[in-house]
Amino acid sequence: MLKPDKRTRRDDKAIRPPRAQDKRQTVSVRSPRAGASAPPEELSVPPGFSDLIGYFLRIAQEASFQALRQAAGKADLKPGWYTILSILSANPGLTPTELSRLCGRDRSTLTATLHGLDSRGLIARRRKDRDQRSYGVKLTASGEAMLRRLRVIAHAHDARLDAIVGRDKPALLALLRRLVDGLAAPAPQRPPNRRIGKRAKTR
């Protein structure tokens, strides 16, 4: 039997095309403990996440909250404080149920947020005269001062977002509204598995 020439095998290896390398996307993230001047870290997007809308919505939301916390100088600033304080300033005395409807948050998660605002002296809770089982919520003087500060920061933050998005802002807002409306609608029901039905008939 003829043995293959070693030079031929080396030549075959030389002409083989290189393996395709995985093109991994990266996102820039900044640690909440890092200062505002600290450069963001480049982290690889998990495999299979590069085209997931929900993943990038979550990443963008967290990046926005971190930027707000750094601008406010409060590491314990919770998402949604500005919205809640703004609603209470315009509607003093709202019940938690009414507030949850206006801010679009679940009552169970809103209760923990109100407790945090109350412990910091930003809101005051008072029992209703007609119904002692419910109470109304309003801002304190410290809450009004915090709202004024957050309002300035929020406007500057929105201006920064406008600069990042640029001319694509109308299209981005339209897509976000479509997501909100689509997710608010009932989810389509999956059709029944026909294969299972056919197997059941043949038995």
- How far is residue 140's CA from residue 142's CA, in Å, rounded to a whole number? 5
Q: Which residues of 5-24 are buried (b: 16+ CB within 10 A; e: fewer)?
A: eeeeeeeeeeeeeeeeeeee
Q: What is the Cβ-side half-sphere exposure of residue 95, based on CA atoms within 13 angstroms?
A: 11
29 bridge partner residues: 41
* 125 residue type, one letter: R
Would you say the pTM of this structure is higher than 0.75?
A: no
Which domains occur in the chain, in start order?
76-168 (1.10.10.10)
- How far is residue 52's CA from residue 172's CA, in Å, rounded to a whole number? 16
* Phi/psi of residue 106, nearest 5 degrees: -70, 145
Query: Which distant-in-sequence residues (6+ apart) come within 8 Å of 88 by Cβ?
Result: 94, 99, 123, 137, 138, 139, 143
* 173 residue type, one letter: L
Structure tokens that stand for 13 in this block: 């290896």
Per-residue pLDDT of the chain (203 residues; tens, 9 = 90+): 555 555 555 555 455 554 444 455 666 555 545 554 555 566 678 888 888 999 999 999 899 988 888 888 876 777 688 899 999 999 999 999 999 988 888 888 888 899 999 999 999 988 876 665 678 999 999 999 999 988 999 999 999 999 999 999 999 999 999 998 998 888 777 766 665 555 555 55
* Phi/psi of residue 25, nearest 5 degrees: -80, 155
